[in-house]
């Protein structure tokens, strides 16, 4: 009789602990999901468009899903970056003079317009930059320059790139 009671008690305790562990795991997943909403997603220029040999790539689902979210990207200023108008163009490789000039399709370019925080004006640099902030996706024509951008970053920070 004593052994049956002890065995029953052990089973009840194990069942309760198992249920509590599952509840804790569920709570941890919920907390992680909530904290991930405010996290930074690192993107690359390869994430921008689907691959196309004809110049008619489409914006990737990843980029569309990141609209309005915090992202970070490493890039280089183009030599034609319109510094005097309060934004810069970042491209994937140093020395890319004009990301617009050789493209068959103006939508299929690997460039992102980056707007510095608080309207801060940047000086041109050939060094790699790390920019992070809120991503905007979709065609927009700048009213001052007439340049079309498919991707814009309202930057919280722009700093020299450092290998992490």
Domains of the chain by residue range: 1-37, 41-160
Chain segment 117-132, per-residue pLDDT in tens: 988 888 889 899 999 9
pLDDT, one tens digit per residue, over 70-115 is 999 999 998 777 778 888 889 988 876 555 554 545 555 778 999 9
Place of tokens 């065995």: 7
Dist. CA 59–CA 66, nearest whole Å: 11
Q: Hey, what CATH topology would domain 41-160 get?
A: OB fold (Dihydrolipoamide Acetyltransferase, E2P) (2.40.50)
Q: Show the tokens assigned to 24.
A: 């804790």
In sequence order, the β-bridge partners of residue 153 are: 114, 135
- SS percent in the chain: helix, strand, coil, step 5: 30, 30, 40
Beta bridge partners of 89: 113
- What is the tens place of the pLDDT at every residue in 20-69? 444 444 343 333 333 345 689 999 998 998 877 776 778 899 999 999 99
């Amino acid at each position: 009789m004593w052994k049956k009671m002890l065995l029953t008690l052990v089973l009840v305790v194990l069942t309760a602990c198992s249920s509590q562990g599952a509840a804790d795991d569920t709570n941890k997943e919920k907390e992680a999901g909530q904290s991930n909403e405010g996290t930074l997603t690192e993107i690359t220029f390869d994430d921008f468009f689907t691959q196309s040999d004809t110049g008619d790539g489409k914006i990737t689902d990843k980029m569309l899903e990141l609209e309005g979210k915090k992202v970070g990207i490493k890039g280089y200023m183009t030599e034609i970056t319109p510094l005097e108008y309060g934004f810069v163009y970042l491209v994937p490789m140093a020395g890319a003079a004009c990301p617009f000039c050789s493209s068959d399709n103006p939508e299929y370019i690997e460039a992102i317009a980056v707007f510095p925080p608080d309207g801060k004006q940047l000086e041109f640099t050939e060094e790699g930059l790390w920019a992070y902030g809120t991503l905007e996706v979709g065609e927009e024509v700048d009213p001052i320059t007439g340049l079309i951008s498919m991707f814009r970053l309202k930057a919280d920070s722009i700093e020299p790139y450092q290998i992490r």
